[in-house]
Amino acid sequence: MSTIVEFDRVGLRYGTGAEILRDLDFRLQRGAFYFLTGPSGAGKTSLLKLLYLAQRPTRGRIRLFDQELADQPRDVLPGFRRRIGVVYQDFRLISHLSAFDNVALPLHISGASEEETEGPVREMLAWVGLSDRSSARPPTLSGGEQQRVAIARAVIARPELLVADEPTGNVDSEMAKRIMFLLGALNRLGTTIIVATHDLSLIAATPGAHLMRIDKGTLVDPTGALRHPPISEALP
């Protein structure tokens, strides 16, 4: 397997505050499924922000898609972001757009016409079970429906890397299983997936996934032995 993401002694601080991520040193393999777990405030969301390029590291080196990010000027970052799908913890759907338009957004941004987006978006909404809610606006959707719209938006452009921050945090257990099934299906199609969660049952239900644990801004296994073990070995 080739490496899709490489962090080398990465640190992050906001402003002049203390470092909230320290010496992150890991690789993500292309096509693999990762869970990122840890207590609240451990730095999961900040690490994901580095992955989906919402933040630049304050030190260290990040390689993404075989390219050094530190060397990239700002105007090429959109090209990287188009290869990454993001499911935000708070969904971040655009409230005045329909579910259809929210899902179609990445395709429109990439330059697809209305006609070109029609088929793929309908297909994606069917995939997440929302065909009959395509014209509904986010405020009228349930939490689970919004979560599925967010997932559909994240995967519509067939990203190489999918980053999901607590994608099941706002839904019931049945919906959580369904969402994880969708992510698993996407992973089988070749997308590298990293999911931040503290739900161990979710992790246990995804055999073959790898586990990364973070605490107080550092990955808790500096030797690397536990950093990416198959879930079956990491859990009792």
Q: Which residues bind other proteins (CB under 8 A)?
A: 52-56, 74-75, 77-82, 86, 88, 92-94, 96-97, 101, 104-106, 108-110, 113-114, 117, 153, 157
Which CB atom, from 152 or from 231, has the smaller least distance to other proteins?
152
Which CB atom, from 47 or from 86, has the smaller least distance to other proteins?
86
Which CB atom, from 111 or from 236, has the smaller least distance to other proteins?
111
* Contact by Cβ (8 Å): 61, 70: yes
* Contact by Cβ (8 Å): 28, 192: yes
Q: Return d(Cα 86, Cα 84) in angstroms, integer.
A: 6
Q: Which residue has the tokens 């390029």?
A: 53
As measured in angstroms, the least distance from the Cβ of 75 to other proteins is 7
* Contact by Cβ (8 Å): 217, 43: yes
As measured in angstroms, the least distance from the Cβ of 208 to other proteins is 28
* Contact by Cβ (8 Å): 82, 110: yes
As measured in angstroms, the least distance from the Cβ of 119 to other proteins is 15
**β-strands 210-215, 192-196 pairing:** unpaired
Structure tokens that stand for 191 in this block: 């997308």
As measured in angstroms, the least distance from the Cβ of 130 to other proteins is 18
Which CB atom, from 62 or from 209, has the smaller least distance to other proteins?
62
